[in-house]
Amino acid sequence: MSSGRLAPGDAPWADLGFERFGVLSEEDAQARILDARARLGKRAVLLCHHYQRADVYRHADLTGDSLKLARLAAQTDAEFIVFCGVHFMAEVADILSRPEQTAILPDLAAGCSMADMANLAKVERCWRELAAVLGAPDEKITPVTYINSAADLKAFCGAHGGIVCTSTNAPKIVDWALARREKVLFFPDQHLGRWTGFKKGIALEQMAVWDPDLENGGLAPEEIANARILLWKGHCSVHQMFQVEHIRRWRAQYPDGQVISHPECNLDVCRESDHVGSTEYIRDIVSAAPANTRWLVGTELNLVNRLAEQMKPQGKIVQFMAPMVCMCSTMQRIDPQHLAWTLENLAAGQIVNPIRVAASEAEPARTALERMLTVS
């Protein structure tokens, strides 16, 4: 009976299906990754989001948040862009990359539950219902989608005079959107939208939550008319684990400590924090802080653990905000076994899990992304 052990450097197999890789030990998977990467050379570039698990992140050529990685990959000479992140990230890489480049997602099950909370059918229904209440929405509402969304929603925004935003540039994007039209439809993350509106001085009663499963979003016509920002009822389950009580208990113990959170957290957590920003912002702020400082961080566990290890030589203590384990479970699906399978296939001349956005979606989606890059 086979042990499932596969030696690096074997001749290409007749069968490179994942079943042969799913049984690999951690040690064997890592060895096969290194061997396949050596054979591929600069033909492949490996991207890892900050939330990626450590046993995959160690192989990254480029690290960062989703937009940064997609833009950097497009500037390389690599033929293959292997994106260790989630589905929408690989879609952005495909949209922004050159035609001769191919974006690849090692496991197609690596999605984003927040992105899935808004789909094109529901957004189009929302648009029709808003038209019935307000009149022509293309004249009154700017659709803004968080980059954590499917390509067809970016395309919807591109086709309706809308735009994409990131957690970093959301305030500038909302300024741009409200300067053009009187209202914003912000999806899929209500919390980023609410924090952005709050920072721009928009009253909470002028930010109404649109529930896509209810007629007219569950709102009365006067609530729709009064709203400056309509917030899609979506959220990141990871960032909703963090609560104000976690911060207050920690501050009671460490009154000189600093709290930093991601804007996908709820408004109360953001207001209670000393700093709020993207994954890149969190890394930059903590890295630049004085030695021997203490930090409580409200974002995904893999990033916090990695940052804690990196800061130890400077005497900085970095702690995870929630008392329970809280990581991006879908991104965890890209494991060493899936990465080894992907790279071995590429080295053998076969592309698995290519992510290709249809031209009918890619062109308007690129328009929305380019608007964002121009504004920000």
Least confident of 68-77, 208-217, 257-266: 68-77
Q: What is the pLDDT of residues 67-111, one digit of tens each?
A: 899 999 999 999 999 999 999 999 999 999 999 999 999 999 998
Burial of 305 (0-12, 13-18, 19+ CB in 10 A): middle
- One-letter amino acid at 158 equals G
Q: What is the pLDDT of residues 145-183, one digit of tens each?
A: 999 999 999 999 999 999 999 999 999 999 999 999 999
DSSP 186: E
pLDDT at 5: 37
- Residues linked to residue 46 through DSSP beta bridges, in sequence order: 82
3-state SS string for 55-106:
HHHCCCCEEECHHHHHHHHHCCCCCEEEEECCHHHHHHHHHHCCCCCEEECC
pLDDT at 50: 87
CB atoms within 10 A of CB 309: 11
Domains in the chain with CATH codes:
19-110+331-357 (3.40.50.10800), 115-235 (3.40.50.10800), 239-320 (3.40.50.10800)
| 331 Cβ contact partners less than 8 Å away, ≥ 6 residues apart | 49, 51, 52, 53, 85, 86, 110
Backbone angles phi and psi of 223, in degrees to 5:
-70, -40
pLDDT at 329: 61
211 with 218: CB under 8 angstroms? yes
Q: What is the pLDDT of residues 305-349, one digit of tens each?
A: 999 999 999 999 999 999 876 656 666 789 999 999 999 999 999
**Strands 294-298 and 275-276, sheet pairing:** unpaired
289 with 256: CB under 8 angstroms? no
Which is it for the CA torsion 310, 311, 315, 318, positive or negative?
Answer: negative
Q: In a 3-state reduction of DSSP, which class is residue 259?
A: strand
**What mean pLDDT value characterizes the chain?**
93
Global pTM exceeds 0.75: yes
- Residues linked to residue 183 through DSSP beta bridges, in sequence order: 141
